[in-house]
A and B are shown apart, each in its own frame.
Chain A
Amino acid sequence: MKGRYILERENILAPLLLLPVVIYVVLLVGFPFVMAFVYSFSNVTVGNPDYKIVGISNFIDIIGDRVFQRSLGNTFIFTFVSISIVLILSHILAEVLIREFRGKWLVRFLILMPWTAPIALGTIGYLWFLDSVFSPIDWLLRSSGLLGTPDSLLGPMSNMYWLGRSGLAMASVILVHVWRLLPLGTVILIAGMNSIPKEILEAAQVDGAGYFRRLFNITLPLLFPVIGVTVLFASLFTFTDMTVVWVLTKGGPPPHSTQVLASLAFLKGIQGGDLAQGAAISLFFFPVLAGVSAIVLRLAKKAVVT
Chain B
Amino acid sequence: MLNRIILRGGFYGALIFFIVFSTAPFYVMLITMFKRGHDLFNPNNNPFFFNEPITLEHLDLLFTQTLYTKFLLNTFLVGISVVAITIIFAVPAALSLARMAGRWGENLGIGIFLTYLIPPTLLFIPLSRVVSTLGLQNSLWSLILVYPTFTVPFCTWLLMSFFKSIPREIEEQALIDGCSRIDAFFKILLPISIPGIITVIVFTFTLVAHEYIYALAFIQDSGKKTIGIGMTTELVRGDVFYWGALMGGALIASIPVAILYTLFLDRIISGLSMGTAKR
Contacts and interface: CB of A to CB of B under 8 A. Distances in A.
Given A39-B125, A292-B117, A117 B19 contact: no
Interface stretch (A21-29, A149-157, A164-172, A198-206): A21-29
B201 interface: no
Most buried by B among A17, A119, A240, A246: A17
Interface SS of chain A: helix
Given A24-B89, A136-B28, A36 B123 contact: yes
Contact of A28 (B97, B119, B149, B272): B149
B23 interface: yes
Interface stretch (A55-63, A65-73, A76-84, A185-193): A185-193
B153 to A, nearest CB: 7
Contacts of B153: 25, 29
Q: Size class of A's contact patch?
A: 35 or more
Nearest to B30: A125
A239 to B, nearest CB: 8
Contacts of B213: 242-243, 262, 266
A110 interface: yes
Nearest to B111: A25
A259 interface: no
Interface residues of B, number: 101
A240 B22 contact: no
B279 A195 contact: yes
A107 interface: yes
A99 B15 CA distance: 11
Given A117-B254, A128-B243, A128-B247, A13 B96 contact: yes
A120 B212 contact: yes
Contacts of A246: 212, 216, 232
22 contacts: A7-B182, A20-B93, A29-B115, A30-B115, A107-B19, A108-B262, A116-B261, A116-B265, A118-B253, A127-B246, A134-B43, A139-B44, A139-B47, A187-B266, A188-B272, A192-B277, A242-B213, A243-B228, A262-B121, A266-B121, A282-B121, A299-B276
Given A21-B152, A134-B43, A282-B121, 12 more contacts: A14-B100, A15-B96, A92-B14, A122-B25, A124-B250, A128-B29, A128-B246, A136-B47, A183-B22, A188-B273, A240-B122, A243-B212
